[in-house]
Each structure stands twice: as structure tokens, then as C-alpha cells.
Amino acid sequence: MRIVLMGAPGSGKGTQAKKMVATFGIPQISTGDLLRAAVAAETELGKKAKSAMDAGQLVPDDLVLGLIRDRLQEPDAQKGFILDGFPRNVAQAEALDQMLSDIESPLDRAIQIDVPFEELKQRLTGRVSCGDCGAVFNTHTFPPQKEGVCDLCGGELIHRADDNEETVVNRLKVYEEQTQPLIEYYDDHGLLKHINGTRDIELIFDEIRQLLS
């Protein structure tokens, strides 16, 4: 199964991706992780990407596609993959489709996890995480038993600086502007499936599992 997984910040996309990896045994391919690994390994593509980033520029799409193409040749991706964070616009989606066609691995499905704007805002502005073990809580929807203290390890809970309301609203608007045409693109190609992301994590995953089985 070859999947593009989409969802706004705070939609639970990362949580569902981890469950998909564990259940289906296919890798989650994050372009951010690929870039960091290529730069650290000083591969040819990594050096080109680093030059762009050092100059304060976006990494060109052809470089990102090259990294994805190389990653898809690895043994663990032969049964399928979950693309996370790419494509971000229609031009990237078209280039991705062409590359996947070239390697005879076309997409099976694009999954969009839908959560209303106001709920996303609440999830993001209330998010706190443990500086020690990484556990995540939410002061609105999933508060820790003791304010500021992690339930799991007793570490200090930290509120990210970029999770303030103004920044969150801006991030969500940018996401919406970029992603709406992409949703229409995959819908037009008969690949899109919407998933209601406001429910219990396990119910959401049950629907995804049924969709992919």
C-alpha cells in the first residue's frame, strides 16, 4: 500500500502514522527526516540540500523527489510506504506522480484527516510536552493530573513558544491555503479518502485499517 497521509497541524496525523507503521510494517517517510539524514551523511543530494538551506532558500523539489526516490528503493519500502509532509502543493503532487510512475509504484490512496479549525486551534494552543520523556498532554482536552508535571515520569511540562494563538492561527491558515488545492487534486484522481479526526484515536485507526485492508 502506497499512501500520502495529509492533515493539519494538531490533526493527529503523526499518531495515526505511527500506528500504521506498527500495524502494516511499512515505513513512514518524512521529507524533513530524509533531508536531515542526507545532510548528516554528506551525500551528494545532502550537500546540495545543505547549500540551499544555508542560503536561506527552500530545498528544490527535484532534490526532495530524488531523496524520496532513493528511499523507496530500500528493502523496507518494497511492500509500501506512508508519505508524510510531501507533497505540499499541486505542482509537487504532479512531480511525485511522475516519479512514482517511473519506478512503477503509483499511489494507492491519499488520506486526509479532517478536524475543524476551532478544535485544531484548541489542541495546538493547549499542547504541553515533557522535556524528559516526550509525553504530550493538552491543558484543554487531556490535562496532566498535576499542572506542569508529567504523569509518566514527573518531568517538567513545557509549552512550545510557537504554540501561541497568533502563530497557531497563521500556521493553520497557511496549511489551508496550500492544502485545499491538493485535496481537490487527489479527489479528481479518485484517490482521496476523508477521515473524521475528531473521534477517539482507536476509532480513527479502525477506519483507516478497514480502508486499507
69: CB partners within 8 A, 6+ apart: 99, 103
Q: Is 13 a catalytic residue?
A: yes
**Helix boundaries (H) for the chain:** 13-24, 31-41, 44-54, 61-72, 90-102, 117-125, 165-188, 201-212
The SS3 assignment for 91 reads helix
Residue in 13, 71, 121, 123 annotated catalytic: 13
Give the C-alpha separation, 195 to 175, whole Å: 17
Q: Is 88 a catalytic residue?
A: yes
Residue in 50, 69, 88, 199 annotated catalytic: 88
Q: Is 109 a catalytic residue?
A: no
Residue in 36, 160, 173, 209 annotated catalytic: 160
CB contact at 8 A, 147 and 158: no
Residue in 71, 121, 123, 127 annotated catalytic: 127
Residue in 71, 121, 123, 171 annotated catalytic: 171
Q: At 161, which helix (H) or strand (E)?
A: none
The SS3 assignment for 128 reads strand
Active site residues: 13, 88, 127, 160, 171
